[in-house]
Structure 1
Amino acid sequence: MEDLFKEYALGYEMLRDAIEGFKPASDKWSIHQILIHITDSEISSTSRLKKVLAEDEPILISFDQDAWVNNLEYDLLDREQYLLLFKFLRSSMQTILDNLTSEQSERVGVYVDQGRFTFKQLMEYRVEHVRNHLAQIERIKKAYHDNK
């Protein structure tokens, strides 16, 4: 779990490094939209993680990411504010993670549409979520440079 928590804590720096010096292009999901999405996802997920630790088998609710991107005018939102919000959300969890017991890592939350997940599984998903979007950002950057 220690490696998982370290990578979780580095999420902001990894995102910041991925976009350094790159101007986003217009495409299906732009890099800008991806960064806003990651933060919106983090807002929801931070709440879910805390619910799992604080409540007995809480119900967890997913959100429709495409509806958020399409209806919340992500293109108008300030990417820098969202990156800072992501950073603050991740750092706000650090004390909790530093003091997490093995019993707490096995606490369970229940998605009505996906089933039961332990805190550890939810954390693994948070780390994987950033990894997947970093890879997506790299693909977009490569496609942009290949088409120049």
Structure 2
Amino acid sequence: MSEDLRYPLGKFPGSLGQTHEQRRASIAVIAALPENLRSAVNGLSDQQVDTPYRDGGWTVRQVVHHIADSHINAYVRSRRALTEDWPTVNAYDENLWANLPDARTLPIVVSLHLLEALHRRWVALFESLSEEQWQRGYVHSENGRQKLAEVVQLYAWHSRHHVAHVTELRKRMAW
């Protein structure tokens, strides 16, 4: 584990060429995110859910809602990449989204349910792609061209990254 509480697994190492088996492993991580996240937050009280995972960081509640926000955006971007010719997609201010009233107050179960359905769709989409389709992508307003073959790696990391925020907090707090 990383010493930097912002990156308990380290920063995203960047996209690598993947074998079919490695791509399947990335999809499996994305498929497992809803259950892994549910397990990570299981039994937490409202007070614990409203605890920041680090000084100056988001609360567990905000992290859970952020994952839903981020993965909804990524799912829509993935679909656009498959139906449009390298569409331009815009970044959004994650901190502003995390500080909207719903992300600060809504029960986490709402986003946990959303992630179950969303990931079922997203995984089914990824599992259906041909090699040619994995090479399609979009132009991100901040990160440039991103192929779906890279996106699946990024969101597998993102899934593990935020679950680790919660599990590492639980270890430090001895809940």
Report the structure, 1 or 2, having the larger helix content: 1
Structure 1, unmatched stretches of 5+, are none
Give the whole-Å Cα distance in 2 for the aligned partners of 1:26 and 1:91: 29
CA contact (8 A) 2:62 2:104 kept: yes
Stretch deviating more after TM superposition (118-127 or 24-33): 24-33
Residue of 104, 109, 123 corresponding to 2:152: 123
Counterparts of 1:7-26 in structure 2 under 5 Å?
Answer: 7-23=29-45, 24=48, 25-26=50-51
Counterparts of 1:3-42 in structure 2 under 5 Å?
Answer: 3-23=25-45, 24=48, 25-27=50-52, 28-42=57-71
Alignment TM-score, normalising by the size of structure 1 = 0.90
Give the whole-Å Cα distance in 1 for the aligned partners of 2:97 and 2:113: 19
Give the SS at the match of 1:3.
helix
Aligned to 1:86: 115
CA contact (8 A) 2:62 2:103 kept: yes
1:62 matches 2:84: no
Give the whole-Å Cα distance in 1 for the aligned partners of 2:101 and 2:146: 29
Give the whole-Å Cα distance in 1 for the aligned partners of 2:98 and 2:124: 31
Give the whole-Å Cα distance in 1 for the aligned partners of 2:85 and 2:28: 27
Root-mean-square deviation over aligned CA pairs: 1.6
Give the SS at the match of 1:44.
helix
1:107 matches 2:129: no
Give the SS at the match of 2:129.
coil
Aligned to 2:164: 135
Query: 1:93 Cα deviation (Å)?
Result: 2.1
Alignment TM-score, normalising by the size of structure 2 = 0.77
Aligned to 2:100: 71
Query: 1:73 Cα deviation (Å)?
Result: 4.2
Give the whole-Å Cα distance in 1 for the aligned partners of 2:94 and 2:83: 26
Query: 1:139 Cα deviation (Å)?
Result: 2.2
Count of paired positions: 146
Give the whole-Å Cα distance in 1 for the aligned partners of 2:134 and 2:107: 34
| Runs of 4+ with >4 A deviation | none
Tell me the amino acid that sits aligned with residue 128 of structure 1. W
